[in-house]
Structure 1
């Protein structure tokens, strides 16, 4: 563990984890510092990944991280009802609805009434949407590879296994979800 900075002015996004653990466990000794480090590190890594992907790949192409997620789900699993897009993307129905308004305006997604239920909306990628998502995903995967290259192939396999184990844990199963 690195030495604690002299002042909080010396902290940055990543060194704040060590500082937070030190300060928290000093005041609340019953806190599990390893669990805290795991949670903070996963959250910070996820935030850094999403920011990187959004700022280098998706925003330059004119869509947000959420817009990319909708296009990605429709590309791989569509056409789908909006509620299924919400579930598969991990977003709320309201968020998907707002994103689809923009994606439809931009000519990337079309929507129509589902045949089996007049209240349901069926979403489909347009040809322009297909081109946009496949182009974006190629660039997105290049950034994924850049991040993954920090690990050896065996380390990647181990990390994926550990993350999947967390995802399938009882805590994950008990967690509240947006869908």
Structure 2
């Protein structure tokens, strides 16, 4: 018999399943038209207007090619505007349009609700610990990406 992992105790499998739950909740309660990755781009631009795509990729923990595709789509939908940086003509600076800001504002309450729903699946005294653990795992990605550059 081949050796096999007990997937119910394998962190990668559990993270993937948790992501499936998040995606299902997102689609059901937040938006079918805007993905959570697109939301993270909108949200980052709402917090930091006038940034370039490299900075946006860093802030959202998305690779630059994914950010490029998302920005192109959001620009085509007139949620994001792009202007050349007057100080460095090679850079393009990104901002939410008025429509993009309205879209972001409409998505925040249901996004907060599913975040709360996910947290409520845990005992109250373990919620902040769970967020801390996930944050630490996510920070491993930053360390791995730093090593690749």
The Cα of 1:45 is off from its aligned counterpart by: 0.5
Q: What is the number of residues matched between the two proteins?
A: 149
The Cα of 1:51 is off from its aligned counterpart by: 3.3
List alignment gaps of at least 5 residues for structure 1. 1-25
The Cα of 1:175 is off from its aligned counterpart by: 6.0
List alignment gaps of at least 5 residues for structure 2. none
The Cα of 1:178 is off from its aligned counterpart by: 9.3
What residue number does 1:150 align with? 121
Runs of 4+ in 1 over 4 A off after TM superposition: 33-36, 175-179
Higher radius of gyration, 1 or 2: 1
What residue number does 2:85 align with? 114
Instruction: Tell me, yes or no, if the aligned pair for 1:58 and 1:68 is still in contact at 8 Å.
Output: no
State the TM-score, normalized to the length of structure 2: 0.82
Q: What secondary structure is seen at the aligned counterpart in 2 of 1:131?
A: helix
CA-atom RMSD in angstroms: 2.9
Q: What secondary structure is seen at the aligned counterpart in 1 of 2:93?
A: strand
Greater relative CO, 1 or 2 (CA 8 Å, sep 6+): 2
State the TM-score, normalized to the length of structure 1: 0.70
What residue number does 1:65 align with? 36
